[in-house]
Amino acid sequence: MKTKIFTITIIVLSFVVSFTSCDKDFLEKTDPGSGAVDGFFQTADDFKLGVNGIYNSLTAAGYFTNFWGGNYFHMNMEFDVVSDNMVGQGAAWKGYSELATGLATPLSGGITDWKFNYGLGAISKVNTMLEVMDDVDFGAEGSEKWEAELRFLRGFLYADMAFLYGGMPLITQSISAEEADALARSTQAETYEQAINDLTFAATNLGNTPNAGEFGRPTKMAAQAALGFAYLNQDNYASAKSAFASIVSQEGGLVGLATAAEWECLNRGCAEQNKEIIWSIQNGPGAEGTGDYIPMGVPTQSGFNGWSGHKFTQDLIDAFGMANGKPITDPTSGYDPANPLDNRDPRLRMTFYFEGDPYDDGFIDDNEFGGVCCNGDTRLMANIGIAPVFPRKYTAEPGTEAFAQMNGIEFGSPIDLVIYRYADILLAHAEAANESGDTAGAYAGVNKVRNRAGLPDLAAGLSTAEMRDAILQERRVELALEGKRYYDLKRAGILKQTVNSNKGWDLHGGANYKDHFDLWPLPGGFVDNSPAIEQNPGY
């Protein structure tokens, strides 16, 4: 059995508190590790503890730490509210909603601040750990795999922030406050170049299994996945196709699709080390956990499992076609409006709970709908396109350890956050193939994902444009609520029009996504205190 990363809470010595903390980090122009860790990391085991501490910048443990205070992956599923899939519980909810409703500014806070601050804070810690490596005795195993893990983290973060913010300040070593004052932004292309350099090193030097055998640490395949998306998000389709192909070629060994029976468990805490999961953020079990899933849960009578603050669009529900592979709008599909759940794509029922479904020793009914947070009973919101459903993804099943933990440890869910899984890679590989002119080569990956769900192959002879639509559609239903839809729509160049067609935002004044939101604002406090840093246009 693989073990999970043991988090930084075990490092309690006072002189490294500044290294492990996740407070303002880079925004305060300090290097959290500078001076504080000199001489502390002497053995490979010491060093591993320091690497663990970097993950604390990505997802902090506990309800009060995490839910209100933020982290790099804070409520990752909320990316779907900046799309046609979901609506947040308010117009200024965690920053994502402000993008959808047109209210985002450099002073908004929430996720547009947290990605920047926690991301650069984690990179600062990476740089510190890279610099102390020469003083550590790694023994016969050597240091390359730990350098590779660190550079994976830095590369992943820079690639993701390049997509969100554009050009970033590139920092690859510890810097003083004076040097921080003089920092300027590199271009977006230069930021991606740094990320790709790090990820290429990681892909070369990481193993096929995680360092120390601890599930949650990146592997060679995780680095190849991050490389693939770094290329794909720059429209470098040939390089993206090659990176993803290196993973696809290993199918049947350490990676592959879960069975249809296992599919639901991939994001519900009951199949967290399945071969489909390539890289995930660990959230427990025990006194760790995350409060990020609280708005995704189902109000219940026996204990706490969330308040269901998110609303889901009828458009998303309707995007799940029929088991025969046809959309419900096709007159020959067999769709029956009087029995809308009959013969549907089975992923629909594994993604959502519907009224009348068994739950918590009863059924989803008035008790659950009466407990919905913030905007009332969703059964009364059909006029604005809201569906009367609850999420199954990220929702703990009553009677399980995960459900018990939600009730007992600061509402912290132990369900891991999946960042990369193989179905995502197959569909991304298909996208890269199609956009590089190899539409025929895109079929295999899409059909594998469809066939796993019991759907037939795509029709033969699709054009490039038709295949593009088919891939977007398949990604929408396969990866619903996993935070991917925002990235897909932005990459396709249809983010603004799609967000602004989501009439569910009438709950909060309407959708008003703006063109310049395609690059997020840098935090206002950071820009104001950085003479050489320019804000993104439009803010």
Residue 34 has pLDDT above 50, yes or no: no
Upper half-sphere CA count for residue 430 (Cβ side, 13 Å):
29
What range does the domain containing 132 cover?
A: 1-74+110-211
- Weakest mean pLDDT among 224-228, 400-404, 441-445: 400-404
Give pLDDT, residue 401.
86
Residue 35 has pLDDT above 90, yes or no: no
Residue 170 has pLDDT above 90, yes or no: yes
- Weakest mean pLDDT among 142-146, 174-178, 502-506: 174-178
Task: Let me know whether 302 and 157 are in one domain.
Answer: no
- Weakest mean pLDDT among 161-175, 273-287, 339-353: 273-287
Task: Let me know whether 191 and 306 are in one domain.
Answer: no
Give pLDDT, residue 332.
98
Cα(309)–Cα(203) distance, integer angstroms: 39
> For 46-64, how does the pLDDT look when each residue is reduced to its tens digit (9 = 90+)?
899 899 989 987 887 777 6
The answer to the question of residue 373 being in a domain is yes
The residue behind tokens 């519900």 is 268
Give pLDDT, residue 29.
34
Task: Let me know whether 18 and 122 are in one domain.
Answer: yes
- Report the SS3 class of residue 475: helix
CA 13 to chain centre: 32
Give pLDDT, residue 279.
98
What tokens does 326 get? Answer: 């046809």
The answer to the question of residue 282 being in a domain is no
Task: Let me know whether 299 and 203 are in one domain.
Answer: no
Give bridge partners of residue 362 from the DSSP assignment: 359
Residue 10 has pLDDT above 70, yes or no: no
Q: How many domains does the chain have?
A: 2
The answer to the question of residue 475 being in a domain is no
Residue 372 pLDDT class (50, 70, 90 cuts): very high
Task: Let me know whether 65 and 184 are in one domain.
Answer: yes
Task: Let me know whether 171 and 320 are in one domain.
Answer: no
Last residue of a domain, which of 384, 415, 446?
Answer: 415
Give pLDDT, residue 3.
56
Average pLDDT over residues 99-118: 97
Task: Let me know whether 173 and 305 are in one domain.
Answer: no
Residue 150 has pLDDT above 50, yes or no: yes
Average pLDDT over residues 496-510: 97
Residue 272 has pLDDT above 60, yes or no: yes
pTM (global) more than 0.85: yes
The answer to the question of residue 436 being in a domain is no
Task: Let me know whether 194 and 300 are in one domain.
Answer: no
- Weakest mean pLDDT among 10-19, 470-479, 486-495: 10-19
Cα(88)–Cα(221) distance, integer angstroms: 33
Do residues 314 and 382 make contact, with C-beta atoms less than 8 angstroms apart? yes
CATH number at residue 25: 1.25.40.390
The answer to the question of residue 166 being in a domain is yes
Residue 87 has pLDDT above 60, yes or no: yes
Give pLDDT, residue 38.
61
Residue 65 pLDDT class (50, 70, 90 cuts): low
DSSP state of 311: E
The answer to the question of residue 60 being in a domain is yes
Give pLDDT, residue 21.
38
Last residue of a domain, which of 149, 181, 211?
Answer: 211
Give pLDDT, residue 58.
87
- Weakest mean pLDDT among 22-31, 161-170, 173-182: 22-31
Give bridge partners of residue 410 from the DSSP assignment: none
Give bridge partners of residue 272 from the DSSP assignment: none
Last residue of a domain, which of 381, 415, 449?
Answer: 415
Per-residue DSSP letters for 184-231?
-PPPHHHHHHHHHHHHHHHHHHS-SS-GGGEETB--HHHHHHHHHHHH
The answer to the question of residue 539 being in a domain is no
Task: Let me know whether 191 and 340 are in one domain.
Answer: no
Mean pLDDT score of the chain, rounded to an integer? 91
Residue 135 has pLDDT above 70, yes or no: yes
Distances 257 to 220, 263, 445, 468 between C-alpha atoms, Å? 18, 9, 11, 22
Give pLDDT, residue 288.
77
What tokens does 272 get? Answer: 């967290």
Task: Let me know whether 198 and 299 are in one domain.
Answer: no
Backbone angles phi, psi at 439, to 5 degrees: -60, -35
Task: Let me know whether 36 and 178 are in one domain.
Answer: yes
Cα(336)–Cα(339) distance, integer angstroms: 5
- Report the SS3 class of residue 102: coil
Do residues 520 and 115 make contact, with C-beta atoms less than 8 angstroms apart? yes
Pick the residue with more confidence: 231 or 142?
Answer: 231
Cα(49)–Cα(57) distance, integer angstroms: 14
Helix axes 237-248, 220-232, angle to 10 degrees: 160
Task: Let me know whether 202 and 325 are in one domain.
Answer: no
Residue 5 pLDDT class (50, 70, 90 cuts): low
401-411 in b/e form (b: 16+ CB < 10 A) is ebbebbeebbb
The answer to the question of residue 19 being in a domain is yes
Residue 8 pLDDT class (50, 70, 90 cuts): very low
What tokens does 465 get? Answer: 């444009």
